[in-house]
Amino acid sequence: IEFLRAPLNPSPLAGHSFTFEAGPLSGFVLDIRCSRSDLEPPPPRLTSEAELSELESWAKSLTGPGVLALGQPLTLDAGTWPEPNPVAFREHFARIGAAVASAPFDVAVLAGDLHVSQLLELDLHGRRIFEITSSPLTRIPSFGRNMLRRIVPIREDQEPAEVRLVDPRSAGAPISIERYLMGTSAPNTYALVDAEALGDGRVSLEVTFVDPARHAGAPCEPDKGLALVPSVGVGDPCRTKITLGPR
């Protein structure tokens, strides 16, 4: 991690976490992998205290909309051993949520890990949060599956992922899904986010889930978990705009 991270990322504030500026947006990348502890013995740790404190300071001092990049979404279930998900780390999860919800400007969450791409509007402590998740660029199956076949057996029934939302409240998270805007399980898609300043502290984000095989937006799919209907039409390209602003 040190070898690959050092030449690419800005200097960290603490641990492996850092801030960045992208046009009208302020960003914070919070590493929730390298300092993560086991759930036992308590208290479990999702990140280091120094990194969490830096996040809280960043969110409090925002002078415009922000983006928080996490390795995993806020909307996962609790998970199981050996890899519990963020909500299982109750204290740190609550502090991350409180920092985002109490920020003076809207904060969009950018996440990965799901092996699908999806855009959600959430309610977190009464605040609107957008969560943009995209990770299929390296998912199994596809090229990675063929490579792994040479090393370990992969069952033929381990077929592609699908958009399958879960209710984060079932894991005790203070989050509800207000809208499922769009999503796709098309292999090797990636998210493009184009930010445009609108004035008065507002920023428009155009989000596209790109299917490189089609050289266009990947087709939007229905949710097979909570049966939520996407705002983008099923089969239409995954592209839409959201607006962040002051609270």
* Average pLDDT score over the chain: 88
Instruction: Return the percentage of the chain with pLDDT > 70, whole number.
Output: 87
What is the per-residue pLDDT across 56-75, written as a single tens digit (0 to 9) for each?
999 999 999 999 999 999 99
- Tell me the average pLDDT across 144-163: 54
pLDDT(148) > 60: no
Bigger pLDDT: 239 or 149? Answer: 239
Give the per-residue pLDDT at 154: 43
What is the per-residue pLDDT across 216-227, written as a single tens digit (0 to 9) for each?
999 999 999 999
What's the chain look like in SS3? CHHHHCCCCCCCCECCEEEEEECCEEEEECCCCCCCCCCCCCCCCCCCHHHHHHHHHHHHCCCCCEEEECCCCCCCCCEECCEECHHHCHHHHHHHHHHHHHCCECEEEEECCCCCEEEEEEEECCEEEEEEECCHHHCCCCHHHHHHHCCCCCCCCCCCCCCCCCCHHHHCCCEEEEEEEEEECCCCCEEEEEEEEEECCEEEEEEEEEECCCCEECECCCCCCCCCCCCCCCCCECEEEEEECEC
pLDDT(146) > 80: no
Is residue 7 very low, low, confident or very high in pLDDT (cuts 50, 70, 90)? low
pLDDT(101) > 90: yes
What is the per-residue pLDDT across 102-129, written as a single tens digit (0 to 9) for each?
999 999 999 998 889 999 999 999 999 9
